[in-house]
Amino acid sequence: MTKLLCVLILFIVVRSGYTIKCYNCISNATNDCTDYSKIPVIECVPLRDKFPPVCIRRVLQGPSGANTTLLCTNTHTGNECDPPSVRYNVTDCKVCQNDLCNSYPRTLSSFILVAMLGFSAMLSSI
């Protein structure tokens, strides 16, 4: 009985190492998928060892404006960044394999602005 329990625990631990966490969001009129505190996080598990899970961030520009999709998939085919039809252009696309890697990069624009203001004030006092 203890051997069976050990094997089961080992299987769960090893199997969980193959999962990744991804943000899951499709933008619409009220949600632009940028407030990560409100976006659900899902655990993406592989269907088979041949196809590890990936996170995707894709922004499409279409007739009705931009549409952002954050998701995970188990069928990494290499064409996740292709537009779904000729009516759309892909303006941003990222396929990655780390936890929560399908977010937008955080900008340091406010920090840079404050640093530049401080630097210019320091130069003007010289």
Q: What digits encode the pLDDT tens for the residues 32-54?
A: 898 999 999 999 988 776 778 89
Q: Which residues pair with 58 in a beta bridge?
A: 69, 93
In the chain, where are the structural domains located? 20-120
**Is residue 118 very low, low, confident or very high in pLDDT (cuts 50, 70, 90)?**
low
Of 3-7, 57-61, 111-115, the poorest mean pLDDT is in: 3-7
- Of the CATH numbers 2.10.60.10, 1.10.150.120, 2.30.130.10, 1.20.840.10, which one belongs to the domain with range 20-120? 2.10.60.10
What is the per-residue pLDDT for 109? 46
CA distances to 12, 56, 82, 102 from 106, rounded to whole Å, are 34, 17, 25, 12
d(CA 86, CA 124): 54
Please give the residue that has the higher pLDDT: either 74 or 96: 96
Average pLDDT of the chain is 77
Strands (E), the chain: 20-23, 25-26, 41-44, 54-62, 65-73, 89-96
